[in-house]
Amino acid sequence: MSDSGVPAASTSVKVVGVVGCGLMGSGIAQVCAEAGYEVVVREVDTGALQAGLGRIQAFLEKGVKRGKVTPERLQAVLGAIRGTTDVAELAPADLVIEAVVESIGAKRTLYAALDAVCREDTIFASNTSSLSITEMAAGTRRPDRFVGLHFFNPAPVMKLVEVIRSPLTSTTVVERALEFARSLGKEPVRSKDATGFIVNRLLVPYMLDAVRVFEQGLASATDIDLGMRLGCGHPMGPLTLLDFVGLDTTYYIANIMFDEFREARFAPPPLLKRMVQAGMHGRKSGRGFYDYSQDPPAPVAGLV
Protein backbone atom coordinates (compact mmCIF):
# COMPACT_ATOMS: atom_id res chain seq x y z
CA MET A 1 0.00 0.00 0.00
CA SER A 2 1.44 3.40 -0.94
CA ASP A 3 1.15 6.57 1.17
CA SER A 4 -1.79 7.65 -0.98
CA GLY A 5 -3.80 4.66 0.19
CA VAL A 6 -3.62 3.05 -3.23
CA PRO A 7 -1.80 -0.31 -3.29
CA ALA A 8 1.22 -0.54 -5.57
CA ALA A 9 0.46 -2.45 -8.75
CA SER A 10 2.06 -5.88 -8.80
CA THR A 11 2.46 -6.70 -12.50
CA SER A 12 4.96 -5.40 -15.05
CA VAL A 13 2.13 -3.18 -16.28
CA LYS A 14 2.40 0.36 -14.90
CA VAL A 15 0.24 2.47 -17.20
CA VAL A 16 -3.18 1.23 -18.31
CA GLY A 17 -5.01 2.87 -21.19
CA VAL A 18 -8.78 2.50 -21.19
CA VAL A 19 -10.65 3.41 -24.34
CA GLY A 20 -14.29 4.28 -23.75
CA CYS A 21 -15.53 5.85 -20.51
CA GLY A 22 -19.11 4.60 -20.66
CA LEU A 23 -20.64 2.30 -18.06
CA MET A 24 -18.00 -0.43 -18.49
CA GLY A 25 -15.01 1.76 -19.40
CA SER A 26 -15.48 4.04 -16.38
CA GLY A 27 -15.82 1.02 -14.07
CA ILE A 28 -12.68 -0.57 -15.53
CA ALA A 29 -10.71 2.70 -15.24
CA GLN A 30 -11.79 2.94 -11.60
CA VAL A 31 -10.82 -0.65 -10.80
CA CYS A 32 -7.37 -0.15 -12.38
CA ALA A 33 -6.77 3.11 -10.49
CA GLU A 34 -7.92 1.46 -7.24
CA ALA A 35 -5.32 -1.26 -7.80
CA GLY A 36 -2.53 1.31 -8.08
CA TYR A 37 -2.15 1.68 -11.84
CA GLU A 38 -1.72 4.98 -13.61
CA VAL A 39 -4.77 5.22 -15.89
CA VAL A 40 -5.30 7.20 -19.09
CA VAL A 41 -8.93 6.99 -20.22
CA ARG A 42 -10.02 8.20 -23.63
CA GLU A 43 -13.47 9.20 -24.82
CA VAL A 44 -14.58 10.61 -28.17
CA ASP A 45 -15.64 14.02 -26.82
CA THR A 46 -15.43 16.12 -23.67
CA GLY A 47 -19.10 15.62 -22.79
CA ALA A 48 -18.85 11.83 -22.77
CA LEU A 49 -15.53 12.01 -20.90
CA GLN A 50 -16.92 14.28 -18.17
CA ALA A 51 -19.99 12.03 -17.80
CA GLY A 52 -17.75 8.96 -17.38
CA LEU A 53 -15.38 10.62 -14.90
CA GLY A 54 -18.46 11.92 -13.04
CA ARG A 55 -19.75 8.36 -12.76
CA ILE A 56 -16.48 7.25 -11.14
CA GLN A 57 -16.59 10.16 -8.70
CA ALA A 58 -20.24 9.44 -7.81
CA PHE A 59 -19.46 5.75 -7.14
CA LEU A 60 -16.55 6.67 -4.88
CA GLU A 61 -18.60 9.32 -3.06
CA LYS A 62 -21.27 6.70 -2.41
CA GLY A 63 -18.49 4.50 -1.07
CA VAL A 64 -17.41 7.30 1.31
CA LYS A 65 -21.01 7.66 2.54
CA ARG A 66 -21.16 3.90 3.14
CA GLY A 67 -17.87 4.04 5.06
CA LYS A 68 -16.18 1.80 2.45
CA VAL A 69 -13.86 4.45 1.02
CA THR A 70 -11.92 7.18 2.83
CA PRO A 71 -11.97 10.73 1.42
CA GLU A 72 -8.16 10.45 0.98
CA ARG A 73 -8.53 7.30 -1.06
CA LEU A 74 -11.24 8.90 -3.17
CA GLN A 75 -8.81 11.71 -4.04
CA ALA A 76 -5.95 9.26 -4.67
CA VAL A 77 -8.03 7.11 -7.02
CA LEU A 78 -9.40 10.11 -8.95
CA GLY A 79 -5.86 11.53 -9.09
CA ALA A 80 -4.59 8.33 -10.74
CA ILE A 81 -7.02 8.71 -13.66
CA ARG A 82 -6.29 11.12 -16.49
CA GLY A 83 -9.01 11.74 -19.07
CA THR A 84 -8.34 12.60 -22.70
CA THR A 85 -10.09 12.77 -26.06
CA ASP A 86 -6.82 12.11 -27.94
CA VAL A 87 -5.85 8.53 -28.85
CA ALA A 88 -2.18 9.66 -29.07
CA GLU A 89 -2.16 10.09 -25.27
CA LEU A 90 -2.39 6.32 -24.94
CA ALA A 91 1.20 6.04 -26.23
CA PRO A 92 2.74 5.35 -22.77
CA ALA A 93 0.26 2.52 -21.99
CA ASP A 94 1.67 -0.95 -21.28
CA LEU A 95 -1.83 -2.39 -21.63
CA VAL A 96 -4.81 -0.88 -23.44
CA ILE A 97 -8.30 -2.09 -22.51
CA GLU A 98 -10.90 -1.23 -25.11
CA ALA A 99 -14.50 -0.79 -23.96
CA VAL A 100 -16.09 1.12 -26.84
CA VAL A 101 -19.39 0.50 -28.61
CA GLU A 102 -19.95 -3.12 -29.74
CA SER A 103 -19.37 -2.44 -33.43
CA ILE A 104 -16.66 -4.32 -35.27
CA GLY A 105 -16.20 -1.36 -37.64
CA ALA A 106 -15.70 1.14 -34.79
CA LYS A 107 -13.31 -1.24 -33.03
CA ARG A 108 -11.26 -1.89 -36.20
CA THR A 109 -10.83 1.86 -36.78
CA LEU A 110 -9.80 2.34 -33.16
CA TYR A 111 -7.27 -0.54 -33.19
CA ALA A 112 -5.67 0.85 -36.36
CA ALA A 113 -5.20 4.20 -34.57
CA LEU A 114 -3.86 2.46 -31.44
CA ASP A 115 -1.44 0.34 -33.49
CA ALA A 116 0.02 3.56 -34.85
CA VAL A 117 0.61 5.23 -31.45
CA CYS A 118 1.31 2.38 -29.01
CA ARG A 119 4.64 0.62 -28.43
CA GLU A 120 5.21 -2.72 -30.08
CA ASP A 121 5.12 -4.56 -26.75
CA THR A 122 1.84 -2.96 -25.58
CA ILE A 123 -0.87 -5.54 -25.05
CA PHE A 124 -4.32 -4.85 -26.46
CA ALA A 125 -7.33 -6.22 -24.58
CA SER A 126 -10.97 -5.97 -25.59
CA ASN A 127 -13.82 -5.93 -23.09
CA THR A 128 -16.21 -7.11 -25.80
CA SER A 129 -18.98 -9.39 -24.56
CA SER A 130 -19.94 -10.80 -27.95
CA LEU A 131 -17.64 -9.90 -30.82
CA SER A 132 -14.83 -12.15 -32.01
CA ILE A 133 -11.47 -11.61 -30.31
CA THR A 134 -9.86 -13.49 -33.21
CA GLU A 135 -11.36 -11.17 -35.83
CA MET A 136 -10.23 -8.06 -33.93
CA ALA A 137 -6.75 -9.47 -33.24
CA ALA A 138 -6.24 -10.47 -36.86
CA GLY A 139 -6.90 -6.87 -37.94
CA THR A 140 -4.03 -5.49 -35.81
CA ARG A 141 -0.24 -5.61 -36.16
CA ARG A 142 -0.04 -7.56 -32.88
CA PRO A 143 -2.41 -10.55 -33.09
CA ASP A 144 -0.26 -12.50 -30.58
CA ARG A 145 -0.47 -9.61 -28.07
CA PHE A 146 -4.25 -9.34 -28.22
CA VAL A 147 -6.53 -10.89 -25.61
CA GLY A 148 -10.08 -10.61 -24.30
CA LEU A 149 -10.57 -9.16 -20.79
CA HIS A 150 -14.29 -9.27 -20.10
CA PHE A 151 -15.46 -7.46 -16.97
CA PHE A 152 -18.96 -7.60 -15.48
CA ASN A 153 -21.33 -4.82 -14.57
CA PRO A 154 -20.86 -3.14 -12.09
CA ALA A 155 -17.12 -3.58 -12.72
CA PRO A 156 -15.97 -2.11 -9.38
CA VAL A 157 -18.08 -4.70 -7.52
CA MET A 158 -18.22 -7.87 -9.63
CA LYS A 159 -15.30 -10.20 -8.88
CA LEU A 160 -15.06 -12.00 -12.22
CA VAL A 161 -12.95 -11.30 -15.29
CA GLU A 162 -13.07 -13.65 -18.27
CA VAL A 163 -9.69 -13.95 -20.02
CA ILE A 164 -10.25 -14.93 -23.64
CA ARG A 165 -7.58 -16.48 -25.76
CA SER A 166 -7.84 -16.46 -29.54
CA PRO A 167 -5.92 -19.04 -31.59
CA LEU A 168 -3.44 -16.21 -32.23
CA THR A 169 -2.84 -15.11 -28.60
CA SER A 170 0.57 -16.08 -27.18
CA THR A 171 0.72 -18.10 -23.95
CA THR A 172 2.83 -15.39 -22.30
CA VAL A 173 0.16 -12.80 -23.02
CA VAL A 174 -2.56 -15.04 -21.58
CA GLU A 175 -0.46 -15.50 -18.43
CA ARG A 176 0.11 -11.75 -18.16
CA ALA A 177 -3.61 -11.08 -18.59
CA LEU A 178 -4.43 -13.56 -15.81
CA GLU A 179 -1.82 -11.97 -13.56
CA PHE A 180 -3.17 -8.50 -14.36
CA ALA A 181 -6.76 -9.52 -13.53
CA ARG A 182 -5.57 -10.94 -10.19
CA SER A 183 -3.67 -7.72 -9.46
CA LEU A 184 -7.04 -5.92 -9.69
CA GLY A 185 -8.40 -8.17 -6.95
CA LYS A 186 -10.51 -10.04 -9.50
CA GLU A 187 -10.84 -13.78 -10.04
CA PRO A 188 -10.02 -14.63 -13.66
CA VAL A 189 -11.45 -17.56 -15.60
CA ARG A 190 -10.12 -18.67 -18.97
CA SER A 191 -12.28 -19.11 -22.03
CA LYS A 192 -11.72 -19.82 -25.68
CA ASP A 193 -13.03 -17.39 -28.24
CA ALA A 194 -16.65 -18.31 -29.00
CA THR A 195 -19.21 -15.54 -28.77
CA GLY A 196 -20.58 -15.06 -25.26
CA PHE A 197 -17.58 -16.88 -23.75
CA ILE A 198 -18.65 -18.67 -20.52
CA VAL A 199 -21.01 -16.34 -18.69
CA ASN A 200 -23.07 -14.85 -21.51
CA ARG A 201 -23.29 -18.26 -23.20
CA LEU A 202 -25.27 -19.39 -20.14
CA LEU A 203 -26.79 -16.10 -18.98
CA VAL A 204 -28.24 -14.80 -22.25
CA PRO A 205 -30.48 -17.86 -23.01
CA TYR A 206 -31.63 -17.76 -19.36
CA MET A 207 -32.67 -14.10 -19.63
CA LEU A 208 -34.32 -14.73 -23.02
CA ASP A 209 -36.25 -17.66 -21.51
CA ALA A 210 -37.48 -15.38 -18.74
CA VAL A 211 -38.89 -13.03 -21.41
CA ARG A 212 -40.55 -16.01 -23.15
CA VAL A 213 -42.10 -17.20 -19.87
CA PHE A 214 -43.41 -13.67 -19.24
CA GLU A 215 -44.58 -13.29 -22.86
CA GLN A 216 -46.51 -16.57 -22.63
CA GLY A 217 -48.36 -15.27 -19.56
CA LEU A 218 -47.04 -17.92 -17.18
CA ALA A 219 -46.42 -15.41 -14.41
CA SER A 220 -46.02 -11.70 -13.68
CA ALA A 221 -42.62 -9.97 -13.94
CA THR A 222 -42.56 -9.56 -10.17
CA ASP A 223 -43.22 -13.24 -9.54
CA ILE A 224 -40.67 -14.41 -12.12
CA ASP A 225 -38.04 -12.22 -10.48
CA LEU A 226 -39.05 -13.18 -6.94
CA GLY A 227 -39.02 -16.84 -7.96
CA MET A 228 -35.40 -16.74 -9.08
CA ARG A 229 -34.28 -14.53 -6.19
CA LEU A 230 -35.83 -16.56 -3.42
CA GLY A 231 -35.85 -19.96 -5.13
CA CYS A 232 -32.29 -19.87 -6.42
CA GLY A 233 -30.59 -17.17 -4.35
CA HIS A 234 -29.85 -14.90 -7.33
CA PRO A 235 -29.18 -11.27 -6.30
CA MET A 236 -31.55 -10.04 -9.02
CA GLY A 237 -34.38 -11.77 -10.88
CA PRO A 238 -33.86 -12.19 -14.66
CA LEU A 239 -36.17 -9.35 -15.78
CA THR A 240 -34.61 -6.91 -13.29
CA LEU A 241 -31.22 -8.08 -14.54
CA LEU A 242 -32.31 -7.46 -18.15
CA ASP A 243 -33.29 -3.91 -17.17
CA PHE A 244 -29.91 -3.56 -15.44
CA VAL A 245 -27.81 -4.88 -18.35
CA GLY A 246 -29.98 -3.03 -20.91
CA LEU A 247 -32.59 -4.56 -23.20
CA ASP A 248 -30.88 -3.05 -26.25
CA THR A 249 -27.52 -4.52 -25.22
CA THR A 250 -29.00 -7.95 -24.54
CA TYR A 251 -30.94 -7.88 -27.83
CA TYR A 252 -27.75 -7.00 -29.68
CA ILE A 253 -25.72 -9.75 -27.97
CA ALA A 254 -28.50 -12.33 -28.54
CA ASN A 255 -28.54 -11.57 -32.26
CA ILE A 256 -24.77 -12.03 -32.50
CA MET A 257 -25.01 -15.30 -30.56
CA PHE A 258 -27.88 -16.53 -32.74
CA ASP A 259 -25.87 -15.66 -35.81
CA GLU A 260 -22.90 -17.65 -34.48
CA PHE A 261 -24.66 -20.78 -33.17
CA ARG A 262 -27.97 -20.82 -35.13
CA GLU A 263 -29.72 -22.27 -32.09
CA ALA A 264 -33.28 -21.16 -31.26
CA ARG A 265 -32.40 -20.54 -27.61
CA PHE A 266 -30.27 -17.54 -28.61
CA ALA A 267 -33.02 -15.97 -30.77
CA PRO A 268 -34.43 -12.81 -29.15
CA PRO A 269 -38.16 -13.21 -28.40
CA PRO A 270 -40.55 -10.80 -30.21
CA LEU A 271 -41.43 -8.95 -26.97
CA LEU A 272 -37.76 -8.08 -26.38
CA LYS A 273 -37.49 -6.76 -29.94
CA ARG A 274 -40.67 -4.66 -29.59
CA MET A 275 -39.50 -3.19 -26.27
CA VAL A 276 -36.17 -2.24 -27.83
CA GLN A 277 -37.98 -0.69 -30.80
CA ALA A 278 -40.13 1.26 -28.32
CA GLY A 279 -37.02 2.67 -26.63
CA MET A 280 -37.71 0.72 -23.42
CA HIS A 281 -34.06 -0.11 -22.78
CA GLY A 282 -34.36 -0.72 -19.04
CA ARG A 283 -32.87 1.28 -16.21
CA LYS A 284 -30.82 3.60 -18.42
CA SER A 285 -33.91 4.79 -20.36
CA GLY A 286 -36.13 4.85 -17.26
CA ARG A 287 -38.40 2.00 -18.41
CA GLY A 288 -38.09 -1.66 -19.30
CA PHE A 289 -39.93 -4.41 -17.47
CA TYR A 290 -40.10 -1.92 -14.58
CA ASP A 291 -40.72 1.81 -14.41
CA TYR A 292 -37.76 3.50 -12.70
CA SER A 293 -39.51 6.84 -12.21
CA GLN A 294 -41.18 5.20 -9.22
CA ASP A 295 -39.51 4.20 -5.96
CA PRO A 296 -39.46 1.24 -5.70
CA PRO A 297 -39.65 0.60 -9.46
CA ALA A 298 -43.10 -0.69 -10.46
CA PRO A 299 -43.81 -3.36 -13.10
CA VAL A 300 -44.83 -1.78 -16.41
CA ALA A 301 -48.43 -2.62 -17.30
CA GLY A 302 -49.67 -3.70 -20.71
CA LEU A 303 -46.53 -5.41 -22.04
CA VAL A 304 -48.39 -8.65 -22.85
Site residues, ligand CAA (CB under 6 A): 59, 62-63, 66, 68-69, 129, 152-154, 157-158, 200, 235-236, 241, 245
Q: Which is nearer to ligand CAA, 298 or 304 (CB)?
A: 298
Counting other chains too, the contacts that 120-126 makes at CB distance below 8 Å and 24 or more residues apart are 121/94, 121/145, 122/93, 122/94, 122/95, 122/96, 123/13, 123/94, 123/95, 123/96, 123/147, 123/173, 123/176, 123/177, 124/96, 124/98, 125/95, 125/96, 125/97, 125/98, 125/149, 125/177, 126/97, 126/98
Catalytic position from the list 34, 38, 98, 162 = 162
Q: How far is the CB of 71 from ligand CAA (least distance, A)?
A: 13
Q: How far is the CB of 153 from ligand CAA (least distance, A)?
A: 4
Q: Which is nearer to ligand CAA, 92 or 154 (CB)?
A: 154
260 included as an active-site residue = no
Buried b (16+ CB within 10 A) or exposed e, 59-76: bbeebeeeeebeeebbeb
191 included as an active-site residue = no
Catalytic position from the list 126, 130, 183, 200 = 200
Catalytic position from the list 26, 126, 127, 129 = 129
150 included as an active-site residue = yes
CB contact at 8 A, 74 and 68: no
Closest residue (Cβ) to ligand CAA? 63
Q: How far is the CB of 127 from ligand CAA (least distance, A)?
A: 9
Q: Which is nearer to ligand CAA, 142 or 290 (CB)?
A: 290
Q: How far is the CB of 280 from ligand CAA (least distance, A)?
A: 18
Q: Which is nearer to ligand CAA, 143 or 238 (CB)?
A: 238
| Measured distance CA(67)–CA(72) in Å, rounded | 12
Buried b (16+ CB within 10 A) or exposed e, 174-211: bebbbebbebbebebbebebebbbbebeebbbebbebb
| Measured distance CA(6)–CA(166) in Å, rounded | 33
132 included as an active-site residue = no
| Measured distance CA(193)–CA(135) in Å, rounded | 10
Q: Which is nearer to ligand CAA, 43 or 243 (CB)?
A: 243
User: Largest Cα–Cα distance of the chain, in whole Å?
Assistant: 58
Q: Which is nearer to ligand CAA, 90 or 241 (CB)?
A: 241
Q: Positive or negative, the Cα torsion across 125, 128, 133, 139?
A: negative
Helix or strand or coil: residue 201?
helix
Catalytic position from the list 34, 98, 127, 150 = 150
| Measured distance CA(258)–CA(2) in Å, rounded | 48
Q: Could you give the residue numbers annotated as active site?
A: 129, 150, 162, 200
